[in-house]
Amino acid sequence: MTNTLHRYGDAESFRDDYIVFATPSSGRNDVDSVPKLKKFLELALPFKPVNIGDPVHGGSLRPERGLHTTSNWKRDMKPDFRAVIDGIDEPASVVAIFDNQAAAEQFLKVAADADLGLSINMSASVEGAKECCQFAGIARHSVGYSLGFEGATDKLPNTQLLKLTTMCGHGMVSASLAKKMIDWVKEGRRTPDQAVTYMARFCSCGVFNPARAKRILEESRKKME
Amino acid sequence: MKINPNKCVACGNCTYVCPMGAIYIDPAINRATIDRDECVECYACYYGLSTENLNPPFVRLVRKIFQWGRLRFDPEPDVCPTAAFEPDELQWPRVIRRAFSDPRATHESTGVQGRGTEEVKTNDVTGRVKWGEVGFTIEFGRPGVGVWLRDIQKMTWALAKAGVAFEKKNPFTLLMSDVTTGTLREDVLDEKVLSAIVEIKVKVEQTQQIIELVREVEKNIDTVVALGVGTRCDENGEELLVAPILERLGYKLERAKTNMGLGRITNPVQKKEDQLQEIPSETR
């Protein structure tokens, strides 16, 4: 799975994007891993992640069924971290997203000290992840580089849209929706916070970074690339 | 996926959320319609849209009145007001589309478990990519372009010809009728998916050769390609073998996934098996 690796942007644009995830390996350490996965996310909460999630049930912002009509005027837009943690019921990667390096590296240290026995990875800028490892006293085991997008790149949308859509690594956030959200923010029809929430609900494993998306929307409000 | 025409009110919200742009309002029937050729069965519309259960005739009337008065109702953009999406009972080979496009899908019908494998994410416990080796993930179609499986076959043919072995547990490998030639099953070639990942492993010395091969073949494939390159770090956590090769080839290494090496084997049965197989401790 490469769902957090190929985010579009340069290292500078990842300054508020640190993804830390714990993965049980099938047949090796997945037995009785559910309590460990829950603990991993519990340990993350004090460091104020901007999103958490699991691929089976979703992130902290999820679609809702059977909304009341009044939701068009008054809708709960807050992430529900507790629902994510309580909902984990099978072995799968769980993820915590941070918008600053200090929080990510401190959490990494705490997660390492907890000695959960699960594989823990960080998806971030190459240097950002290296610095977090140094802080936590960890020697990296393996690294997977993203070489970015190539081939028929003329089929891709502009860079701001790419930055938004690739934050759901499974491709569930469409370029059309991202463009619509940029337009709505530009027109003042929705705030960046609201627009980000709409997009995040389509990301089915919670790796969408609302803080980075909000910054990109703010930048797009003033200047489209 | 299908849209129930008795429920759809042609609000247009779903036309924006489809990653493939396969949903449109058909003016002939004034209902949202799915282009089945372009639809990859990712279910982003079905699962991603929140739903209301409003009365369709009433909503149509309200919309008509607003339209007549040139008034703009500004509803939530991620809601299907009448819950009009209904999943199809997918048959082979169309079910392939969902298996490779919907991250929530279970794949009992295909034997496929997701788009890729654990690759270097669990390398600390699997030892899949060892010192001196490079694991490639070659992803096609993402973001938002999609890919026809017959196009990916051009790449698997070229890789097989270069003597590369495909990752056995990768779902895409399972679609091959002949892994030695990289040939896919005939009945899946005309299926389109949101993305698919080909996984291979080679020696570090072959890194440049593989990248040059991928660059050459991708010129003849009508989609985007994303390359991931995974390898081991040394005992100090440094990676000084592969990065210089990539930089020499012109890549600026901006982003990576870093395995911290904190995992260990804890399943009782596997532990016993691994001891029997005498897996070197450096891979744990």
CA geometry: angle at B86 spanning B84 and B87, to 5°? 155
Residue B68, H or E segment: helix B56-68
Domain assignment present for A24: yes
Element (H, E) at B208: helix B207-217
Task: Evaluate whether residue A217 is within a structural domain.
Answer: yes
Q: Provide the domain count of chain A.
A: 1
List pLDDT tens digits, range B23-33: 999 999 999 99
Please give the pLDDT value at position B119. 79
ipTM for the predicted complex comes to: 0.96
B3 min Cα distance to partner chain A (Å) = 17
pLDDT tens, residue by residue, B148-200: 999 999 999 999 999 999 998 889 999 999 999 999 999 999 999 999 999 99
Range of the domain at A33: 11-140+156-222
Asked if residue A88 lies in contact with residue A38, where contact means CB atoms within 8 angstroms, the answer is yes
Confirm whether A169 is domain-assigned.
Answer: yes
| pLDDT on residue B279 | 42
What does the block give as tokens for B57? Answer: 């005739």
pLDDT of B117: 72
Collapsed DSSP state (helix, strand, coil) of residue B122: helix
- Per-residue pLDDT at B280: 42
B67 has pLDDT over 50: yes
Q: For residue B271, name the pLDDT band (cuts at 50, 70, 90).
A: low
Checking if the pLDDT of B116 tops 80, the result is: no
Best to test chain B binding among A13, A17, A28 (most B CBs inside 10 Å): A28
Distance CA B31, CA B122 (A): 47
Residue B111 to residues B58, B128, B147, B164, B270: CA-CA distances in angstroms?
Answer: 45, 22, 20, 23, 23
| Phi/psi of residue A201, nearest 5 degrees | -65, -20
pLDDT surpasses 70 at B104: yes
Reported pTM: 0.94
Does residue A108 fall inside a structural domain?
yes
Residue B69 has pLDDT above 90, yes or no: yes
Residue B23, classed as helix, strand or coil, is strand
CB-based burial label for A21 (10 Å; 0-12, 13-18, 19+): buried
β-strand partners of A22: A94, A120
Q: Identify the pLDDT of residue B282.
A: 39
Q: Are A13 and A66 in contact (CB under 8 A)?
A: no
Tell me: cis bond preceding B75? Omega within 30 of 0 counts: no
B231-245: pLDDT as tens digits: 999 999 999 999 999
User: What pLDDT, on a 0 to 100 scale, did the predictor assign at position B107?
Assistant: 59
Write down all domains in chain B, each with its CATH number in brackets: 2-88 (3.30.70.20), 105-283 (no CATH)
Task: With cut-offs at 50, 70 and 90, classify the pLDDT of residue B74.
Answer: confident
Angstroms from B173 CA to nearest CA on chain A: 14
Q: Percent of chain B beyond pLDDT 90? A: 85
User: How sure is the predictor about B278, in pLDDT bands with cuts at 50, 70 and 90?
Assistant: very low
Whether residue A29 and residue B265 make contact (CB cut-off 8 A), yes or no, is yes
- Residue A6 domain-assigned? no
- pLDDT < 50 stretches in chain A: 1
Query: In which residue are the tokens 């029809």 written?
Result: A189
Within-domain flag for A72: yes
Crossing angle for the helix pair A210-222 and A175-187, to the nearest 10 degrees: 60
CA atoms within 13 A on the CB side of B31: 16
pLDDT of residue B273: 54
Question: Has residue A196 been placed in a domain?
Answer: yes
pLDDT digits (tens, 9 = 90+) for B242-266: 999 999 999 999 999 999 999 999 9
Option in B50, B117, B119 nearest A67 (CB): B50
The pLDDT value given to residue B114: 59
Chain B CB contacts of A68 under 8 Å are 52
Assess contact for A39 and A54: CB atoms under 8 A.
Answer: no
Q: Is residue A147 part of a domain?
A: no
